[in-house]
Amino acid sequence: MGVLIDFLLLTAEVVGYIIQSLVRWIKRPTEKRVTNEICLITGTASKKGLGRRFALELAQRGATLVLWDIDTDGNEKTAVQVRELGAKAYAYTCDVSQREDVYNTAERVRREVGDVTVLINNAGVVAGKPILQCSDELLERTMKTNCYAHFWTVKAFLPKMMELDHGHIVTIAGSLGLFATACVTDYCASKFAVVGFHEALSHQLKANRINGVKTTLVCPCLVDTGMFTGCRIRQELDGLLSPLKPDDCVKTAMKGILNNQPIICIPRVMYFAVVSKHLLPWDVQVLVHKFLGIDKCMHPFIRQREAKRHLVATGR
* Phi, psi dihedral angles at 121 (to 5 degrees): -85, 105
Closest-CA residue to 249 (of 216, 275, 224, 215): 224
Q: Is the dihedral of CA 207, 152, 111, 52 positive or negative?
A: negative
187 counts as catalytic? yes
Q: With left for phi above 0 and alpha for psi between -120 and 50, is residue 128 left, alpha or beta? A: left
Q: Are 117 and 161 in contact (CB under 8 A)?
A: yes
Q: Are 74 and 55 in contact (CB under 8 A)?
A: no
Question: Cα dihedral angle (267, 268, 274, 279), rounded to 10 degrees?
Answer: -140
* Phi, psi dihedral angles at 135 (to 5 degrees): -75, 160
d(Cα 308, Cα 259) in Å, to the nearest integer?
A: 42
Among 90, 92, 148, 187, the one annotated catalytic:
187
**E-strand spans in 131-235?**
167-172, 213-220
Positions marked active-site: 187
